[in-house]
Amino acid sequence: MDRCSGDEPWICYSEHYEDLPKYLYFVKHAGSQSFEDNDGTFWAADGCNTGHRGLVRLQNLIDQHVNWRNRGATRFISTFEHYRHAQYWAMQRDGPVTIHTINTCLVCEDCPPIFYAPRFTDNCWETSEYLFLNRIPGHSIIRSRSL
């Protein structure tokens, strides 16, 4: 987090696209708060597009998102770095359940920031969790597998 001074736009705290794993996995299940639009883009439950400044605010919002006791809408969509972990997590969710494979090479620079959750909170028990801000672009989803 050394790229920013603390009150910068959130984009400067995000992962560089070239540093992301090649694939990330998004689990859509009956309890998911995100929704899918007509072009296959998934949108976070809280679609607020304002106030994207400041490290402390970003950390607080990520803390709220990774707190599983909090069922309030957030601006993030969780993904996993490892397919096996996504599959294990998916098997514990109510159906229908689908694992979507995201090719991060197809997530372009004008797409939403992606954050590595453990960089921002000690409350993140999952060390392979990446968070998309507001949406996962439909064009980056290369496969969907129903369980």
Asked if 80 contacts 116 with a C-beta cutoff of 8 angstroms, the reply is no
Q: Which residues share a beta bridge with 43?
A: 35, 135
Whole-model pTM? Answer: 0.87
Alpha helices in the chain (DSSP H): 55-66, 83-91
Rounded to an integer, what distance in angstroms lies between the CA atom of residue 83 and that of residue 70? 25
Give mean pLDDT, residues 119-137.
84
Report the pLDDT averaged over residues 97-123: 88
- Residue-range domains of the chain with CATH: 10-146 (3.20.170)
With contact defined as beta carbons under 8 Å apart, do 103 and 70 qualify? Answer: no
- pLDDT, one tens digit per residue, over 3-61 is 555 566 787 788 888 899 999 999 999 888 899 999 999 999 887 766 667 788 888 88
Task: Note the Cα 32 to chain centre separation in Å.
Answer: 12
Are 147 and 90 a contacting pair, CB within 8 Å?
yes
For 55-95, write each residue's pLDDT tens digit: 888 888 888 887 777 777 888 999 999 999 999 989 988 88
Distance in angstroms (rounded) separating the CA atoms of residues 68 and 88: 17
pLDDT exceeds 60 at position 2? no
Structure tokens at 84: 């096996």
What is the pLDDT, as a whole number, of residue 1? 47
